[in-house]
Amino acid sequence: MAQQRKSNKVLWSRAKKILAKTGPERDKIPLTDIQKLVHELQIQQVELDLQNDDLRRTHASTEGMSRPQCHSAVSDCTVRQPAETDLRRSKEKFHQLFDQAPLGYQSLDEAGRILEVNQAWLEVMGYPREEVLGRWFGVFLRPGAQDLFQESFTRLKAGGEVRRIEWEMVRRDGATIVTSFISRAIQDEQGKFLRTHCLFEEITARKQAEEKTKNTCAVLENTITSFVDPIAIVDAHNRFSRWNQAAAEAYGYGAEGLSGLTVVDLFDDKPALDKMLGQLRRDGFVRGYEIDMRKKDGSAAPFSLSIGLLAAADGKNMGSVWVARDLSATRKSLAEVSHMNARLKALVEEADKRNRELTLVNSMAEKLQSCLSLDETYPLIAHYAQAIFPLTSGALFIQCPDSSLVEAVSTWGAAPAGEMAFPPGDCWALRRGRINLNGNPGRKLRCRHLPGSYPEPYLCLPLLAQGETLGLLHIQDLKDFTPEAAEPLQALAVTVGDHISLALANIRLRETLRHQVVHDVLTGLFNRRYLEETLEREIYRGRRKGAPLGLIMLDLDYFKHFNDTYGHEAGDNLLRTLGNFLAESVRREDVACRYGGEEFVLILAEASQEIVCQRAEEIRREFPKVPVVYRGQVLESVTASVGVAMFPEHGLTGRDVLRAADDAMYRAKAQGRNRVVVAKPRVAQSQ
């Protein structure tokens, strides 16, 4: 008995220390320590119950023996009374301890009825004690769980202990909670069931957290499994411990997966791997790190890796999560996009170049249409050819009307190699009437107007209009020439050549028409219309400058007799001969005109009367010496009567000066022909 009291004191001391702690300090006590103490207290309670039962049976037998007979007996109660006191105190301490324990406690009889619960049980379930004691435990369970409880309770009574079982219990307010029970059946020395001792705790929040964690893990597992990108879990030793199908397929390992492999096995470039892992250890993660990885077949492929370290609560390294993306298709797409962008850029640049060329061609065409003479077009063509065909040199050749050669009238760039004048037969383009693009020095169609050793490609384009060859556009120094550039170069050259040909043809036509308008068809000299326009212009210029102007009018003597003798064709030939003679006899700035019939007029600007008279005398004297050939026969010569008039001495207007010269010419005829007569001054004329 003394040993039992000593054991009770030890248990009570341990329980008192636990109950003395409050708040966070009590929460720090390991649950296993509390469960162990409660279990020992349960055993102690059973022993106390057994002792109480023995005492009650002894007391009952003593009272029974005294009823039928009247006997006197004296017994020593000195030992029994302290024992009863110790039992009563132990029981009170037991109930105090269990009421203050943080775990719920209940005791069930053989039928499953509740014999005893502690305060924690009542607080968890929300019931007062009087509504709990004596009730079957199954009524506090979730509907449908009663049969399961009965089976479990039967096993408990037969086996003696159920380590842990979970029940869904219904609180008094109707809320369902989840509890975890540790139960033990108490039996007497003969193995007869006496009661159960059960400890339980509410684990609703933990179960919810576990369920949430389970769902999260399931979602994470499904995410990893279904993720299109490779995902792998690597342990602290860099071994692959988990991976999805995408990872196995990405690295070429198929169904067997990455079992037994380490991350080092997937990299050939160890320095690059060490650099990446160093960044991972320093920062705890890497994102979008591009590195080449080795597949099972030994081939390398570019991957983008995002890696995060996994650490325990104490900071211990648990491994890492690897998310990879194969960049092979992406880089291929980027390469295709880059190639496409390069092509688009080239097309845009080509379009810009074409637009620039067309702008230049249109500008050239517009300016060529504004040119009044061929001499104006030649430098303009060279200027635009240099702009349209940059980094080249070349020349514009024109067919000479009075020779069988084509001559260079303008050049651009460096001095062109080859002849500047050559017969059309030396150029294959002129010979064939089509463009000749010679990109190979060894080709047979090499033009003879270029040196045989000329190394660069060149282009010759005939300038044609209305089936007539006007000239040649020649381009040299095509250093960047390629077969691909041949077609656009030829197309551009043809476009430029067409505009040049059209402009040259139009200007030639305008010059022809203008020549016909202002020139006499028979003699080739200017006609009367041109004479009148030019005379007024020269009179105005002379008046402004204060310079004299001389006018010579001559008429062939006996021209009618010449016509009657030799015929009109011979007369036309005589007039043609006089026209050629006058054209050759005057200065470049002088103007020779056929006034009408056999009358001719010469305008000598800024010439004194002495020079005019001298020139008139030379014409009168030299013309009869010019042979007139008609049908192979030299005809007799004719003379001319000449009249001279000056501005401003003989008139202030062109008409007045022309009338004065005409009067002087008629006075020369009246005085016997074949002579020069100067007009009378204006005063004398008025008298």
Could you give the residue numbers annotated as active site? 598
Strands 114-117 and 300-311: unpaired
Do 659 and 651 form a contact (C-beta atoms < 8 A)?
Answer: yes
Distance of CA 360 to the CA centre of its chain: 30
Q: How far apart are CA 558 and CA 556, in angstroms?
A: 6
Q: How far apart are CA 617 and CA 623, in angstroms?
A: 10
Cα 411 to chain centroid, rounded: 43
Phi-psi region of 673 (alpha: psi -120 to 50; beta: other; left: phi over 0): left
Q: State how far Cα 485 lies from the chain centre.
A: 27
Radius of gyration of the chain measured on its C-alpha atoms: 67
Instruction: Please report, in angstroms and rounded to a whole number, the separation of the first and last CA atoms in the chain.
Output: 189
Report how far Cα 444 is from the mean position of its chain's Cα atoms.
47
Q: How far is CA 363 from CA 353, 380, 507, in A?
A: 15, 11, 17
Of 426, 428, 471, give the one whose Cα is nearest residue 449: 426
Complete edge-to-edge strand list for the sheet that includes strand 421-422:
421-422, 406-412, 393-399, 468-476, 458-465, 436-438
Residues 635 and 622: their CA atoms lie apart, in Å, by 16
CA angle 158, 160, 161 (to 5 degrees): 125
Long-range contacts of 254-261 (CB under 8 A, 24+ apart): 258/232
CA distances, 681 to each of 607, 648, 685 (Å): 17, 10, 6
What gap in Å lies between CA 120 and CA 99, rounded to an integer?
Answer: 7
Q: What are phi and psi of 435, to 5 degrees?
A: -65, 145
The span from the CA of 459 to the CA of 465, in Å, is 19
Nearest-angstrom CA–CA distance, 203 and 210: 10
